[in-house]
Amino acid sequence: MNEPKPLLGTLCGKVIEPPPLWLMRQAGRYLPEYRALRQKAGSFLELCLTPEFATEATLQPVRRFGFDGAILFSDILVIAMALGRTVEFRDGDGPNLLPLSDKTGLTAQADAETLAPVYEALRRVKAALPARTTLLGFAGGPWTVAAYIIDGGGRTQFAKARQWAAEKPDVLDGVVARLAAATADHLAAQLDAGAEAVQLFDSWAGLLAPDQFRRFVIAPTRRIVAALHARHPRAPIIGFPRNAGALYGDYFVETGVDALCLDPSVPLDQARALQAHGPVQGNLDPALLLAGGAALDRAVGDILAALHRRPFVFNLGHGILPETPLEHVERLVQLVRGGL
């Protein structure tokens, strides 16, 4: 089909053949050119917050594989930095933050200077991108960012944030509300800077009990979506409440997101049922892309057969693993594009 921007078209509800393809964490350590750039930048945060480097990292996977989406090279924790938290990334250890004790540890307004390089990177990418590629902005879901801020990183399985959800939900509400407001502004500024759609990564949504999920995931996401739709009515929002299981449908309908990203645990018949509410994206297991071979071929064929008749974006169900061989990504592109 002759669609000028296949990914944007699909997110707006069109069925496009072959379906558009991009990969979560498509810029990263599995690419030799990323590893070289990362070394040149010195640190991951330097890479994120220097527009020249962030632009190059965003473009690398698009250049190599011709993906339909270019996702801004940044991180969900830049918003925590802009709200006054100290964030460090140590090699091989994930993010480290100074743990939060209460709401007063977050400033009322995000610091514009911290975020300015992010928007500058988007403007540069937009100017350099092929006409058919859709530029994606993103942010973390407020619950997921709150979990990193409260626990000070991910090594604790977010025991403290979950304890807050159970013991002092009103305090957590305050933190999540402040993050939700800053996140809506951050995403709107990304759309102002040239992003054409945005994805909200609520990677740890699946840790919450159903009533907590409604309060700390669905409710603030609905407010973010309403604020963005008011300011940018035509820009699609992809929601990714990872591991939401049986609650994916409620999230899709109640938050008003335009498209839903699914993790690999979602059975394909459930994924197909969710297409009744709008476009879905996903959900190949990153371990299958790592493994390659007949298992990869079969899984890609199954996903395409189940989902391609309705608006569908091919993606992984979580970020690509750094050990993934480039040939397996090439094979995936052939399978999705060429119908092999």
Q: How far is the CB of 55 from ligand CP3 (least distance, A)?
A: 13
Instruction: Indicate the SS3 state at residue 28.
Output: coil
Nearest one of 192, 203, 230 to 139, comparing CA atoms:
203
158 touches ligand CP3 (CB under 6 A): no
> In whole angstroms, how close is the CB of 322 to ligand CP3 at the nearest point?
7
The 10 Å CB-count burial string (b at 16+, else e) for 205-218 is: bbbbeeebbebbbb
Closest residue by Cα to residue 333 from 134, 65, 60? 65
- Touching ligand CP3, residues 1-40 (CB under 6 A): 24-29, 38
Which of 154, 206, 256, 292 lies at the binding interface for ligand CP3 (CB under 6 A)?
154
Shortest distance (Å) from residue 93 CB to ligand CP3: 8
Question: Using the rule CB under 6 A, is 65 a contact of ligand CP3?
Answer: no
- Write the CB contacts of 60 (distance below 8 Å, at least 6 apart in sequence): 27, 31, 33, 34, 37
Query: Of all residues in this chain, which one has the CB nearest to ligand CP3 in the complex?
Result: 203
Min. distance of Cβ 70 from ligand CP3 in angstroms?
Answer: 9
Which one from 148, 162, 178, 215 is the annotated catalytic residue?
Answer: 148
160 binds ligand CP3 (CB under 6 A): no
Nearer to ligand CP3, 29 or 337 (CB): 29
**What is the dihedral angle through the alpha carbons of 176, 178, 181, 182, rounded to the nearest 10 degrees?**
-110
89 forms part of the interface with ligand CP3 (CB under 6 A): yes
Q: Does 203 bind ligand CP3 (CB under 6 A)?
A: yes
The number of residues making up the chain comes to 340
Could you confirm whether 251 is annotated as catalytic? no
CB-CB contact of 328 with 295 (8 Å): no
Which of 6, 317 has the CB closer to ligand CP3? 317
- 3-state SS class at 275: helix
User: If you ran DSSP here, which 8-state letter would residue 138 be given?
Assistant: E
Active site residues: 25, 29, 38, 75, 148
Contacts to ligand CP3 by CB under 6 A? 24-29, 38, 44, 71, 73-77, 89, 94-95, 138, 154, 201, 203, 319
